[in-house]
Structure 1
Amino acid sequence: MSLLKKMVVLAASVCLATVVWTGAADAAQVTVQKGDTLWTIANRNGTSVENVKQLNKLSSDNLQIGQVLEVPDPSTNQAVRPRTEESQTSSRGVVDRAIAVLDYAKQYIGVGYRSGGESPAGFDCSGYVRYVFKNFGFDLVHTAAGQYNAGMAISKGNLRPGDLVFFNTGGYGINHSGIYIGNSQFIHASSSRGIRIDSLSDKYWSPKYRGANRILK
């Protein structure tokens, strides 16, 4: 066998160890590893959680170690290529910062609501978001509508932990904000129950959802 042919065979073997081609023109297979979530798999492979769920006919976000998932790659119609070390490091940095933001945000669960408040003595919705992100060097305005225009707009299907989510709870425009934590949940300052975690799928919050943006980039 010529040296060139040996190199081609070796390269093919390395690729197959990373991702298995399914034979379809727009998908590859990945195996769920310890610590993987739908978001990390989708983000690692340049797609969205909703795309992965739809392709694999998943009705929930729960995964099992060793589970094989198909991952779409419509931009190239080829098996998904592994990210470079540089891009993995950059992605890891964003994930680590999001984890830090959420850990900080969660320590205030149970703090009461206060109109105009932006301290542990009491928060309103935008005051809480402002207080959390200010600890990480982001100086957001103290209004939900202002925060809505502060970052890069994100579709609901591409939400990732640390994104800001926005609602209209009555009246005109955006008047409520919170922080997305994953699995369709967000943390926010409820006017009736203070800092708490709720679901975007909740019958109260779902119809009031108006959009999201990304501050952590």
Structure 2
Amino acid sequence: MKGSTAAVIGVGATAAVVVAALVQTAGDDPVAGAALSMAVPAEYRTLIEKAGNTCPEVSPNLLAALLMQESGFNPNAKSRAGAQGIAQFMPSTWESHGIDGNGDGIRDVWDPEDAIPSSAKYLCTIADDVKGVPGNKQNNMLAAYNAGSGAVREYGGVPPYKETQNYVRSITALANQNPGGGKVADTGQAATAISAAKGMIGTPYSWGGGNASGPSTGICCSPGGQNGNTVTGFDCSGLTLYAYAKAGITLPRTAAAQYAASEPVQPGNVRPGDLVFYGTSATSIHHVGIYVGGGWMIDAPRPGKPVRYSPLDTMRDLFAVGRPASNTNKEI
């Protein structure tokens, strides 16, 4: 599937700006030597293909997925925590692990010709650092990139941090997308999904609830402590999964994984049926709804609030819009 990620709508864009634009326009361990099949900006393709074969644990697709998650391929990205450049190095990490990738005598975190090979080299260093930890080597390496090698060793694998787990899941889903696989939803499928979601308006919210067959009991527990085991209904991604199952498209279970498995949609091309994602970064996607037009969506908002129509600005961290596509890989 070409272009398998939902696009970030403008670096630093606010929810209000994005809403205005929408209303106005209405696995397995990696194999060394693998080719790049993800869609990436042309100017970075050769860099990623070369750096992505630095060591057996890193592939071009994995490196491309990491860069997409970290910065959306923006070489000027800077996080609130101070991470810098296309690979989002913290200054102290860059000081110890940045390399002069283009041989110009300068190690520049803002230069993709330095930052991309530095990111691959750092991944390889981390992979070696956690090689004795049980479990999937790729997952452990990615978790260490996000949370530190010490946390991975302490917990004997991916640590129980929601951000880190979403980070690993999202990057793995991106890197393992099957080229030429699932097709994006057409307008007929989008209409079917919207109709299915409308049919569930008023259904209770259930943390972890909902599947391709409809409402179900959920799991324990939400960040607020609500127990989905006692409620039959949907959470946000359970609703979108159900709606698109009715349209013949199989989506992953979580909002973060659905983000990773959606085609990018720019504001001028958004149409009813597209998925609307909320979070402050690609690794912190926490909510998804189905856009229905005019600045509104259908979503399962939160415990105590049933499936309903909600304005897009109901949350302040609207992050991206993606067009659903079938998940052709095993569940992550």
Please give the range of the TM-score, normalised by the shorter of the 2 chains: 0.5 to 0.7
Alignment partner, residue 85 of structure 1: none
Instruction: Check 1:169–1:125 CA distance in 2 against 1; reply closer, same or farther (3 A cut).
Output: farther
* 1:113 corresponds to which of 205, 214, 222: 205
> Higher relative contact order at CA 8 Å, sep ≥6: structure 1 or structure 2?
2
Alignment partner, residue 139 of structure 1: 250
More moved, 142-151 vs 161-170: 161-170
Tell me how large the CA RMSD over aligned residues is. Answer: 3.0
Counterpart contact for 1:98–1:216, Cα < 8 Å: no
| Post-superposition offset of 1:216 | 6.4
Alignment partner, residue 210 of structure 1: 319
Deviations 1:112-151 (A, max 9, x none): 0001101323000111111111122211111100000112
| Post-superposition offset of 1:104 | 1.5
Task: Give the counterpart letter for 2:277 in structure 1.
Answer: F
Alignment partner, residue 40 of structure 2: none
Task: Give the counterpart letter for 2:190 in structure 1.
Answer: A
Matches within 5 A, 1:124-135: 124-135=235-246
State the TM-score, normalized to the length of structure 1: 0.52
Gaps of 5+ in 1: 1-48, 55-60, 62-92
Aligned residue for 1:194, secondary structure, equals coil
* 2:190 corresponds to which of 91, 98, 104: 98
C-alpha distance in 2 between matches for 1:190 and 1:112: 10
Q: Once the two structures are aligned, what percentage of the paired residues are identical?
A: 36
Alignment partner, residue 311 of structure 2: 199
| Post-superposition offset of 1:94 | 3.2
Instruction: Check 1:109–1:174 CA distance in 2 against 1; reply closer, same or farther (3 A cut).
Output: same
Counterpart contact for 1:50–1:158, Cα < 8 Å: no
Structure showing greater radius of gyration is 1
| Post-superposition offset of 1:214 | 0.7
Task: Give the counterpart letter for 2:206 in structure 1.
Answer: R
How many residues were matched structurally?
128
Matched, 1:152 2:263: yes
State the TM-score, normalized to the length of structure 2: 0.35
Alignment partner, residue 11 of structure 1: none
Task: Give the counterpart letter for 2:318 in structure 1.
Answer: Y
| Post-superposition offset of 1:95 | 2.9
